[in-house]
């Protein structure tokens, strides 16, 4: 199961648990007098309430205070995605993106194409797979360590036709080195940390029953 999907359902379970406690976790067993007093209060409030004027709100309008509010440069795109994909959750997405970043970076360094394939778009998988095969052909071994993922922030979002795209800016402290078959370092140094700033583009077809998001592009920030 995709990392983003796993984290989304984990977050959803916590949310539902809190909701159920709020609804069902309160003490029960009201007395008859309490019940009658509440009925009288409700009736009095109904008589005092002003009658609506003008057309009623459409039945589909979301008047809940729990409706997500998006801000920032990606707000319009995130709202459009959430409208087309009821399962979209911004916080859950960012949390999952952080885990996906670590998994993908380490899998690429290790040459683990089986782990990468379900996480990358076809285009990215083809390019990265060729790079991995190139290293193997030269008997090169790459080792990467992520010391700290400093930040992950959504900087852009859009919905074009059915294609949802979310761009996340990552900043991480990473050490990496490549050795040849004799163990000699030919590039990098694991003892030296470098700050890597990149923007990763994740995409998903919102009409697809497959809930997975795929890494569709990477560029320097």
25 belongs to a structural domain = no
Residue 115 domain-assigned?
Answer: yes
pLDDT-above-90 percentage for the chain:
65
Tokens at 201, concatenated: 């583009």
Quick: pLDDT tens for 6-41.
Answer: 444 444 444 334 333 333 333 444 444 554 555 555
Q: Does residue 153 sit within a domain?
A: yes
Structure token pair of residue 219: 């560029």
- Has residue 132 been placed in a domain? yes
Name the average pLDDT for the chain: 79
What's the pLDDT tens digit per position in 81-99? 999 998 899 999 999 999 9
Q: What is the pTM of this model?
A: 0.69
Asked whether residue 61 is domain-assigned, the answer is no
Each residue's pLDDT tens digit, 33-62: 554 555 555 544 444 333 333 233 233 334
Asked whether the beta carbons of 211 and 5 are under 8 A apart, the reply is yes
Question: Given this model, what pLDDT does residue 70 score?
Answer: 85
Looking at residue 97, which CATH number applies to its domain? 3.10.450.240
Structure tokens at 107: 């899998």
Identify the domain containing residue 85 by its residue range.
Answer: 69-221
Q: What are the pLDDT digits (tens) for 101-144? A: 999 999 999 999 999 999 999 999 999 999 999 999 999 999 99
Which token pair is 102?
């670590």
Rounded Cα–Cα distance for residues 52 and 126 (Å): 60
Give the count of domains, the chain. Answer: 1
Is the pLDDT at 1 greater than 80? The verdict is no
């Amino acid at each position: 199961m995709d990392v983003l999907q796993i984290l989304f359902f984990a977050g959803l379970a916590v949310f539902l648990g809190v909701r159920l406690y709020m609804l069902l976790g309160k003490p029960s067993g009201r007395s008859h007098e309490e019940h009658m007093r509440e009925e009288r209060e409700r009736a009095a409030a109904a008589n005092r309430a002003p009658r609506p004027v003008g057309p009623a709100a459409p039945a589909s309008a979301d008047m809940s205070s729990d409706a997500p509010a998006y801000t920032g440069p990606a707000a319009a795109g995130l709202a459009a995605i959430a409208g087309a994909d009821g399962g979209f959750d911004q916080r859950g997405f960012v949390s999952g993106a952080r885990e996906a970043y670590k998994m993908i970076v380490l899998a690429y360094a290790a040459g683990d194409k089986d782990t990468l394939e379900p996480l990358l778009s076809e285009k990215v998988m083809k390019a990265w797979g060729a790079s991995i095969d190139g290293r193997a052909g030269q008997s090169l071994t790459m080792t990467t360590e992520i010391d700290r993922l400093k930040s992950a922030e959504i900087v852009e979002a859009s919905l074009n036709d059915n294609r949802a795209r979310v761009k996340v800016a990552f900043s991480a402290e990473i050490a990496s080195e490549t050795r040849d078959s004799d163990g000699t370092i030919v590039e990098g140094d694991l003892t030296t940390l470098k700050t890597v700033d990149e923007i990763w583009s994740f995409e998903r077809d919102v009409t697809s029953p497959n809930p997975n998001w795929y890494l569709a592009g990477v560029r320097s920030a």
